[in-house]
Structures are given as structure tokens and as C-alpha cells.
Structure 1
Amino acid sequence: MSRVDHMDVAAYALGVLDEQDMERFEEHLATCWACAAELETMVPVVGLLSDIDEESITALEQTHSDPVLLDRTLVALRTHRRRARFRQVLATAAAVVVFGGLTGVVFSNLTDSSTAPPFAGPTTAPVGPPTDRTGNPSGPSLGGNEQEGEQVDVTDPATGVEATFWLTSKDFGTKMDFSLGKLPGPRTCRLVVVRDDGSTEVVSTWLVPDGGYGTNANTQLLTLSAATSTKRDNIKQFEVQEIDSRGATDTLVTVPAA
């Protein structure tokens, strides 16, 4: 590559090369770091020169016969260039700020979405890992962890569904942790609180898969947690009900509150 090729940087930056010379220089530029670095330094100069319009050139030509006009024109050009450069700096800074803000928001959203637990409904959530034990637990623990609340064990003689409830009085009302076994599927179930005055409240619903829970097909018990604003002293019983496709219900097991 000749020295002339290295001197084509300015002509290329100003866009005065013909198409053939431009292609030849671009091939040279791909392998010459010196020309690439020089071209990078000329980008701001080319940007400033692009701000000079035809009227400015005409005014410069007139300054050959009027030195005072020359001074005024140079001052005007310098002011215009400073403003153009200042606008460019402001635009770059604004872009950095916006990009940084967006990056922070995206990073925050990604962090939140990766650490937040899945939403399990307002009143129902798993209270621990499923246990492989079938039948009603005999102790105050579930899955090896100490369970809060008074334990109530019930097996429905008609359906065979087994239920273990742990009932805890809270300032907000009553908390119920419970496990169910011998519960075949598929079916849709719900937990209903029956108050002393005969009124009822549905506090949770769930789906039972084909294998069921605590069955030969799936030995794991279903473990859930729910809560109600009703005080325990005002609760008569809890009912685990099945809901059919028409909305009709059938009680699978009844658990007394006391």
C-alpha cells in the first residue's frame, strides 16, 4: 500500500473520493490501524464543517475585501460551532443518562422477577414439602418440621378422605394448616369455614391431579395453608368439598373447630 493511500483519510472523511477510490481506501482501512485512528480523530472536525452552509461560504468570500466583515464572520462561525458542539455534548450526556436509567430499571425488574416467589393465591400456599407418609400424621409435625397450632385428625367414614388440621388463633382471625390424603383425582376442591351462626366462607380452592394425593398412584399428601378473619371461637367446623362442573358441591370430609 502506497503512502498516497495513507493520505486519503481526509479526502475519505470529507466524502470527496470517487466510488472506486472509496472502495480501495475502505479495503485499506480494514487492515490499517493508523488510518483508522486518524479517521476517528477527524469525525468531530467533519461534523463541525458540515454545519457551515452555503451562505457562510459566500460571506467568507466577501471578507477578502472587508477585514472587519472577516472578523465578524469568524466570530459568528466560532459561536455557531461552540453551540453545535455544546448541543452534541448535551445529547450524548442525555443518551447516557437515559440508557443508564433504563438499564437500572431493567436490571431491577430482572432481579425482582428472579427472586420473587410464585404467586399462589391470596389465602392458600404450600406449608412445606410434600410428605411420602400415607394416612394421618400421629405427631405435631409435618414433613419433619414442628407444626404450629392445635392438631385435629379426621377420617371421613363415607369417602375415606383423611384430613389433619393445625388450628391457630391469630390477631387477624384463624390460621389453618392442613394435609389431605386418600384423596383421588381428578377433581376440584375447596375449603369452607362454617361459622356458629350458619354462615359460610370459602377460604381456598385447588385442583387434584389424576393421581390424587395419598393414594396408591401418588403417596404424597397434599399440604396447604389458609386463613380467615373469623375468630376460632366463632367457627363451628371446616368442610373440604368437591365441586363438579355444574358448580354443585359434595362434602368429602368435615373437621370440627374444637
Structure 2
Amino acid sequence: PTPLTQPPVPLAQLPTPSVSVRPSPGLLGRLVDEVAVKRAQRKRRGLYLVAAAAVLIIGGPVGVGIATSGGAEPGPAVARERTPAQEFARMPGKIGATDTVTKVSAAIAMEPKAWGTRTALELKNVKGPLKCSLVAVSKTGEQEVVTSWSVPAWGYGIPDSPDENGKKPLYVEGGTAMESNDIDHFEVRTFDGKRLVEVDA
């Protein structure tokens, strides 16, 4: 009698499949380009996510706006960070002072946070070039640098400045670990220790 099944053929004896159609050089080039583009998009997307996470960790979200294109249809909602000037205008509890000697004016807005106090500074009538710091001084005498910046030669907040940028006030944001109730006053100082203006808290 003839067996119903044949013995298996060893793999080595099976015919090797062959490709009868090879992609043209143009198609191959387009495929390679497409793969490169998709890899670049994935890499950019990853960098955007890392940057967005860093912003949320450091400063937290501060605003949301609607982006529009061409004035026709509104685009998707996008996160938009407020400028320091907008933050200053938004924050409550502003206090200000003008030094009688230097004539420098400063106004500070404070916002209590779980980690301390967030600040926004408006500075006027300061001439450069200078490097300055905003220093918080506690009621017990402890001092902490809140933020620092450079003043260019044309200065900030000078009404008769020949430079348009020099006519505008300077706005900077910062933060201190001190609670707002523990702060006695703020000082704007140059890096060499000169006090330009003091603002009581």
C-alpha cells in the first residue's frame, strides 16, 4: 500500500524564493527620503515634549491662547506664555518706590506660592551699562537674590532716551523661597554692591 503522506523535504532542499521586480532608483530614493523625514519628525516631537515638560516643571503653565491663521478659521488652542510685562500687570499687590538719590523707580508685584513667593519687577529710569540683581531681604535680615539682568547702554524707562527701547520700562520675573509675609523689603543692586532703589514689602 502507498502511504498517504510523503516524508518532509529538508529545508536545505527547498527552492529559494526570488524577487522578480526590483524598485527603481527613483522609488528607492523617495522611500529613503520618506524614512528620513519621519525619523526627523519623531525626533522633533520628542524634543518638543521634553521642552514642554521642562516649562511645566520650572514655571508651570501661565496662560492659554487661540492661534488663528489668515483671519478665517480659528486654529487649535496652543499654550502661550505671558510676557514679563503681562505677568506684572496680571499680578496683584504691587508696591513701588523711587530713590531720591539715584532717581531709579521700581515697582514689585508678589504672588504667594507653595514654594515661596513669585515676583515681577518693573524698573524705570535706570542707565547702563550695568549688571543688576533684585534681592529679597527678610524681617530677620536674611538675603536672597531673586533674579538678575543686564542693563544696556541706552538704559530702561528713560522718557527722553534717544533709543526707542530705552524709553520702555524693564520687566523681569523671579522667585524666592521666602514667604511673602516674611519679606521686609526688596533692593535693586548693581553687581558691585551699589543700591539703586529699595522697595518696602
Do both share a fold (TM > 0.5)?
Answer: yes
1:241 aligns with 2:189: yes
- Taking the TM superposition and a 5 Å limit, the aligned residue runs for 1:219-230 are 219-230=167-178
1:19-49 Cα shifts (integer Å, max 9, x gaps)? xxxxxxxxxxxxxxxxxxxxxxxxxxxxxxx
Higher relative contact order (CA 8 A, sep 6+): 2
Aligned-residue CA RMSD in angstroms?
A: 3.8
How many angstroms does 1:100 deviate by?
Answer: 6.8
Q: Distance in 2 between matches of 1:183 and 1:250?
A: 13
Q: Which residue of 2 aligns with 1:147?
A: 90
Q: Which residue of 1 aligns with 2:8?
A: none
How many angstroms does 1:147 deviate by?
Answer: 2.9
Q: Which residue of 2 aligns with 1:127?
A: 84
Structure having the higher Rg: 1
Q: Distance in 2 between matches of 1:204 and 1:219?
A: 22
SS across alignment from 2:185: strand
Higher strand share: 2
Checking the alignment, whether the CA contact within 8 Å between 1:126 and 1:225 is kept in structure 2 is no
Checking the alignment, whether the CA contact within 8 Å between 1:126 and 1:224 is kept in structure 2 is no
Checking the alignment, whether the CA contact within 8 Å between 1:147 and 1:166 is kept in structure 2 is no
Higher helix share: 1
- Taking the TM superposition and a 5 Å limit, the aligned residue runs for 1:28-43 are none
Go from structure 1 to structure 2 and tell me whether the alpha carbon gap of 1:98 and 1:253 turns closer, same or farther (over 3 Å shift). same
Letter in 2 for 1:250: K
Q: Which residue of 2 aligns with 1:104?
A: 41
Q: Distance in 2 between matches of 1:107 and 1:236?
A: 46
Q: Which residue of 2 aligns with 1:172?
A: 115
Checking the alignment, whether the CA contact within 8 Å between 2:145 and 2:176 is kept in structure 1 is no
Q: How many residues align?
A: 151
Where structure 1 has 5 or more consecutive residues not aligned to the other structure, the ranges are 1-74, 130-140
How many angstroms does 1:108 deviate by?
Answer: 2.2
Go from structure 1 to structure 2 and tell me whether the alpha carbon gap of 1:254 and 1:107 turns closer, same or farther (over 3 Å shift). closer
SS across alignment from 2:41: helix
Go from structure 1 to structure 2 and tell me whether the alpha carbon gap of 1:107 and 1:195 turns closer, same or farther (over 3 Å shift). closer
How many angstroms does 1:237 deviate by?
Answer: 1.0
SS across alignment from 2:102: coil
Q: Which residue of 2 aligns with 1:251?
A: 195
Go from structure 1 to structure 2 and tell me whether the alpha carbon gap of 1:109 and 1:256 turns closer, same or farther (over 3 Å shift). same
Go from structure 1 to structure 2 and tell me whether the alpha carbon gap of 1:103 and 1:196 turns closer, same or farther (over 3 Å shift). same
Go from structure 1 to structure 2 and tell me whether the alpha carbon gap of 1:256 and 1:104 turns closer, same or farther (over 3 Å shift). same
Where structure 2 has 5 or more consecutive residues not aligned to the other structure, the ranges are 1-11, 60-81
Q: Distance in 2 between matches of 1:165 and 1:99?
A: 50
Q: Which residue of 1 aligns with 2:64?
A: none
Q: Which residue of 2 aligns with 1:135?
A: none
- Taking the TM superposition and a 5 Å limit, the aligned residue runs for 1:1-258 are 76=13, 79=15, 81-82=16-17, 85=19, 99=36, 102-108=39-45, 112=48, 126-128=83-85, 146-215=89-158, 216-217=160-161, 218-243=166-191, 248-257=192-201
